[in-house]
Amino acid sequence: IAEYAFQNCSKVTSIELPSKLATIGKSAFYGMNGLRKVTLRSRCLPDGDNGFHVKTGEETLDIIIGSEVERIPKGFFSYTTHAQLTFEEGSKCREIGESAFYSTGLQHRVMLPESLETIGYKSFSYITTPFSIAFSGERLKLVTSCAFEGSTGLEGNLELPASVKEIATCAFYDCSGLN
């Protein structure tokens, strides 16, 4: 999918990216503000800065990460408003890339998959809508610098798995909603 391929196609409400997809260009889905559901199935998605930069108004964008996805690309859902993030059962996602959900309006509880090993630089930074994070496995090793920086919407208790080897500088800086 080339750069800007579906930019501003605001009447499209649902997209499923197939498992064989090899390329997603910069801002390929930028401005698809009518979108309500995105399902990722491609095993290895390339970095696609602002792949989905979607303003949904008061509607929620359901983001479903398919079980075969191994990595969420850099900046893929950054600046998307009102999003609900779900990982399919049996998820193989090992990494959430740099700024993947930067300043995204995540809502509710996000259950990170058992397979997750790395939470990338600023991947969940500057989220101000109320949400919580839960870890379901014992493979997480690294929470990189600024991973949740400035996410004042991050609420509740944070229980990191015993497998974590490093929590880098400013990983949870200014997460004032944590107990």
pLDDT digits (tens, 9 = 90+) for 79-88: 888 899 999 9
Nearest to 80 by CA among 33, 147, 25: 33
Distance, in Å, from the CA atom of 8 to the CA atom of 26, rounded to the nearest integer, reads 14
Given this model, what pLDDT does residue 48 score? 55
Per-residue pLDDT of the chain (179 residues; tens, 9 = 90+): 888 999 999 999 999 988 888 778 888 888 899 999 999 987 766 665 667 878 888 889 999 999 999 999 888 888 888 899 999 999 999 999 999 999 999 989 999 999 999 999 999 999 999 999 999 889 999 999 999 999 999 999 999 999 999 999 999 999 999 98
Strands of the chain, DSSP E: 14-17, 37-40, 61-65, 71-72, 83-87, 95-96, 108-112, 118-119, 131-135, 142-143, 166-167
The CA-atom distances, in angstroms, between 132 and each of 12, 28, 111, 151, 167 are 29, 29, 9, 10, 18
Given this model, what pLDDT does residue 47 score? 63
Distance, in Å, from the CA atom of 3 to the CA atom of 56, rounded to the nearest integer, reads 21
Count of Cβ atoms closer than 10 Å to residue 166 Cβ: 11
